[in-house]
Amino acid sequence: MTTAAPESVETMDTSALEAAFDAAVAADERIEPRDWMPDAYRATLVRQMAQHAHSEIIGMQPEANWITRAPSLRRKAILMAKVQDEAGHGLYLYSAAETLGTSRDELLDKLHSGRQKYSSIFNYPTLTWADVGAIGWLVDGAAITNQVPLCRCSYGPYARAMVRVCKEESFHQRQGYELLLALSRGTEAQHAMAQDAVDRWWWPSLMMFGPPDDESAHSAQSMAWKIKRHSNDELRQRFVDICVPQAESLGLTLPDPALRWNEERGHHDFGPIDWDEFQQVLRGNGPCNDQRLDRRRKAHEDGAWVREAALAHAAKHSPEQGTTEHPEASA
Ligand code: BYC
């Protein structure tokens, strides 16, 4: 967006600024950090981006649970790379959120005190090695379905962060699919383990897309602002349609007896989602909510010395201290 350069903002009245903002959104231009934006647009972005960033870092926990027990060096290297990628996604997203005038400390504080959410999906346990495959295939698959449209989000820094995140998610999805395929084609016990993981992760993955459209508090406004490009139900349907043939290729069954192709709609019909379960998880009553938050708070406390050291280092080398160069450079 080019209309509201910082110096012109002071001289424009709010309705002119609002009109310039609306026109930029309508023309599919990106809104950038220094552009004027309505307070509610800023607040919606902070809410969604913070929840997204928190999901990335909390999402490291269920899979990290299996790093020490990965069945081979190759699998371990892949899983470590994936979990590190999730930390990276968190960093891009916290940085992108900071362009809206909030700080990472503030957002983390809200996560730790339960004032901001993270995705419901990460409150389920990873009981077997096959869960690593199911998370990659289904959870990362759902994430890509949701995030590819976010690459066209009206807020520039969020949209740009999503481009890289989606490329990495693509690798994550494929590693999960490949892991499940190996198990599915393995021994009877391995096949059963893969099926059990898919049985447990299927329904929570469908819940990742959020409540049904008629109960989604924010969708209409977020779509009008082009933060969201598709509704929760549209993306959920797209995901189901993608997964059905993939499950067939994997030789695994999706745990839904109502799942069938609907010729008229050109989509798969699927059974009812247990929205009570979703609400319970959002209220903190999922199987692992307490464990995830406790672990996160502890990781934050354990990392305090790193933050203190980084700040001390930055202060020592700040221009006011006159030591902008590394000490060894002048030695
Ligand atoms: N879980 O009006 P709605 C990953 C909340 S991580 C929890 O439809 P909206 C990965 C919602 O926040 C990927 N809460 O909301 C990482 C709202 O509550 P508040 C995570 C949910 O925002 C590691 C209320 O319900 N992806 O891929 O229009 C390893 C009403 O909902 C959920 C993102 O975060 C949920 N599932 O739409 C592996 C994507 N769903 O805030 C993988 C970015 C809804 O009013 N976010 N709520 O208290 C979005 O696209 C949107 O925020 C949502 C919800 C589609 C999730």
Is any atom of ligand 1 closer than 6 Å to the C-beta of 168?
no
Is any atom of ligand 1 closer than 6 Å to the C-beta of 229?
no
SS3 at position 66:
coil
Question: pTM score, two decimals?
Answer: 0.93
- Are the CB atoms for 30 and 154 separated by under 8 Å? yes
- Are the CB atoms for 229 and 29 separated by under 8 Å? no
- Is the Cα torsion angle 55, 61, 67, 70 positive or negative in sign? negative
Q: Is residue 55 exposed (0-12), middle (13-18) or buried (19+ Cβ within 10 Å)?
A: buried
Nearest CA to ligand 1 atom 27: 143
**Closest C-alpha to 208, from 271, 259, 273, 254:** 273
**Closest C-alpha to 95, from 117, 111, 87:** 87
Is any atom of ligand 1 closer than 6 Å to the C-beta of 56?
yes
Is any atom of ligand 1 closer than 6 Å to the C-beta of 211?
yes
Q: What angle do CA 124, 126, 130 make, to 5 degrees?
A: 130
Query: Each residue of 288-305: b (16+ CB within 10 Å) or e?
Result: bbeebbeebeeeeeeeee
CA 60 – CA 139 distance, rounded (Å): 12
**Closest C-alpha to 52, from 199, 177, 153:** 153
pLDDT for 325 equals 52
**Residue of 41, 48, 162 to mutate, ligand 1, most atoms within 8 A of C-beta:** 48
pLDDT along the chain (331 residues), means of 10: 53 88 97 97 98 98 97 97 97 98 97 97 98 98 97 98 95 97 98 98 98 97 97 98 98 98 98 98 97 98 96 89 52 37
